[in-house]
Structure 1
Amino acid sequence: MLVVVGCSGSEQPPPLDVDSLVESTSEYQKPLLEDGVVSADEYEQSLLAYRTCVEDAGATPSEIYEAGNGEKAFDYQVFAVDDEDLERINALAEECLPEYFQDVGKVWAYQQLLSPEELQDLRPDVAECLRGVGIDVDDDFTLDDLAARVGELEDQSVIQPCVQKYPGFFAVAPDPNRTDDDSNESDDG
């Protein structure tokens, strides 16, 4: 059984059962996942196939951009002559994610997560960054401490420079039970 374990903050997410993904994934993704590891080339191949599928469905995809923590994404818009055409294009485009990218992206996201040791080593640097933007935390702060401090702020976006500087520290493990119905990839217009 191939299992990828990732972590976020100080909590250990549930392991990702790659064997189960291989059994239930699309024929396109199956060979990319069979060894239990997604290489950078496989990730990009899968993302490009997903984007091409969306374009072939009649939607207009944006350029691919860095989404943080080693992940990439694109948005897409749908321009249609009427509601029926809009629904048809949307339905076709939505089928692309589970066909070409969903499971590969999930394994890749788990692979990008830092180990508990890496997180602990990074914690004092992140604490220094947080103090630099006005969030008073100790070097050994917990995510609960941080959430409480940020929750007290009038402008919670002040944390963004630290999130951008240390994206791996703030990365969250993808939900192993997430389906394509939960995706926010599209921007219908």
Structure 2
Amino acid sequence: MTRRKKEFDVYPVYTGDDWKRKCVSYEKWLTWCKEFQAYGFRVAPYPVNAVVVVGDQRYLETLKAMYGINYINSGAENSGGFVTYFGLVESHSSLLTVMLQEDTDDEIIWHEALHVALMTCEYVGISPREQEAVTYLQGYIAEHLKMAFAEHHHRKKANALKPLANMYEGDLRNLKDIDAIGGANRRRVNGRHY
């Protein structure tokens, strides 16, 4: 008798020009995130994953490289940080992405952590009235956001950040356009939208 894996027992990574999905262990998923200089973590104990990137342009380029997403009209350059809703990556519905700016302070970290906590609770069916669950989760998430921020600045201080031009080197026509304003999910194939 084989043991059926739970939703959070495997984590998807994407490879090749067509972003082929492959489920791996949590440790391999973390390693894959680090290859893109992104910080990944599980919003434990829930079946939700988060990927954090510091810097608006770095965030947009990292989405291209990791998931094949051209996130347009995101407003990244005009915000202190933000969290995407579930479903940005269609084949990883339990993923949230978080962008923090280079000059993020504790107030923004706790603000974005609350977004992640509330979205996670909504996703798993916990009412926001369950304040203890939300506040403990917010603290756990804030610690991970602080670690992501510290790792980024450590790499920056060591001159170890990948140049933005080298983040995504594939054919731009293969990217999936996601428009934050219109919510348009369209795949461009050979220069045409479908």
Instruction: Name the structure where helix makes up a greater proportion of residues.
Output: 1
Instruction: Name the structure where strand makes up a greater proportion of residues.
Output: 2
Question: Shared fold by TM > 0.5?
Answer: no
Q: TM-score w.r.t. structure 2 length?
A: 0.25
Max Rg structure: 1
User: Which structure exhibits the higher relative contact order, with contacts defined as CA atoms closer than 8 Å and separated by 6 or more residues?
Assistant: 1
Q: TM-score w.r.t. structure 1 length?
A: 0.25
